[in-house]
Amino acid sequence: MLTKCIGIISYFPSNIVIRTERKNRFNRLINILNTYFKLPIVIIAQNWTNEDFLNINYCNKVYIYQYNNGLGITKARMILRDKLLKFDYDYFIFLDDDSDIKCTVDSANKYLLEIDTHPDMVGKYFNTWPRLLAISKSMLTIMDYDYISNLEASRGEIWEDMAYIKTYERLYPNKFFKFSKENISEVSPVSKKDTYSTWYKKEFGTESAISRKTREIIERWYNYKSRRR
C-alpha cells in the first residue's frame, strides 16, 4: 500500500462574513478527512489567527505553515509543493480549504485504492481543477510552477490550475489516470458562482478571455518544457 499525505492551501480573508463561512467550510472538510481518510495533512495557512489554530481538531499528524498575509494562489501552491516534497510519502492528495467532499468509508477506501493501483502517476478527479488531484512524489518532483510563478489567478491573469494540470498532461500523457466518480464526490461551487470566493472578481471579464490567455500560456509552457526534456 502506498503512503499518502493530504496537502491544503488555506486563506481566511479579513472580511468577517466571508471569513466565518470559509472557516466553517474548512472545519467541515477536516471532519470529513478525520472520519474517512485519517491521513497526515500539510496546510499552508494564510491570515490565520491563534484562535483559528486552536479551534480545529485533527485526528492524525498535521503540519501547519503559517503566513501572516495572503500569498496569492500560485505562490501558495508553489510553497505547498515545496513543503510536500520534503516529506517521505509516495503520494500527495490536493485540496482547497473549502473543498466539499461527499463519501462513505467504502467510497473513500475505493478512491485511495485507485491510487495504490497507479504508482508513480497523477490521478485527476476533475479535468482542470486540483481538488482531489493526486500526484505521486516522483511526478511532483518533475511538476514545478516555474513558468507561471509570476502569474496570478486573483489578478485575472491565468487559471493556474488549468495551466498546471493540462501542460503536464500533454508532456506526460501516459502518467495520468482519471479517478472514477462513482466512488467519491467533490461538490464545492466553482469560484465564479461562489458568493464567498476569496479571489474571483467580476471585473476579470468573461471566463473565455481568461481561458484564452491560459491556453496561450499552456502552449508556450508546453513548448518550453518540451525543449528542456
Measure the CA–CA gap between 207 and 205, rounded to whole angstroms.
7
Tell me what percent of the residues of the chain surpass a pLDDT of 70: 91
For the chain, the average pLDDT equals 89
Tell me the average pLDDT across 46-60. Answer: 85
Asked whether the predicted pLDDT for residue 51 surpasses 50, the reply is yes
The closest alpha carbon to 60, from 35, 23, 97, 28, belongs to 35
Tell me the average pLDDT across 165-176. Answer: 96
What pTM did the predictor assign?
A: 0.91
Measure the CA–CA gap between 227 and 229, rounded to whole angstroms.
6
Output the pLDDT for position 210.
Answer: 81
Measure the CA–CA gap between 84 and 91, rounded to whole angstroms.
10
Tens of pLDDT, residues 120-138: 999 999 998 899 999 999 9
Expressed in percent and rounded to 5, the helix, strand and coil fractions of the chain are 45, 15, 35
Q: Which residue has the cell 497507479?
A: 118
Residues 6+ apart with CB under 8 A from 148: 74, 158, 160, 163, 164, 217, 221
Which domains are assigned to the chain? 4-228 (3.90.550.10)
| Of 144 and 157, more confident | 144
Asked whether the predicted pLDDT for residue 202 surpasses 70, the reply is no
Output the pLDDT for position 199.
Answer: 47
Tell me the average pLDDT across 13-23. Answer: 92
3-17, 24-38, 209-223: segment of lowest average pLDDT: 209-223
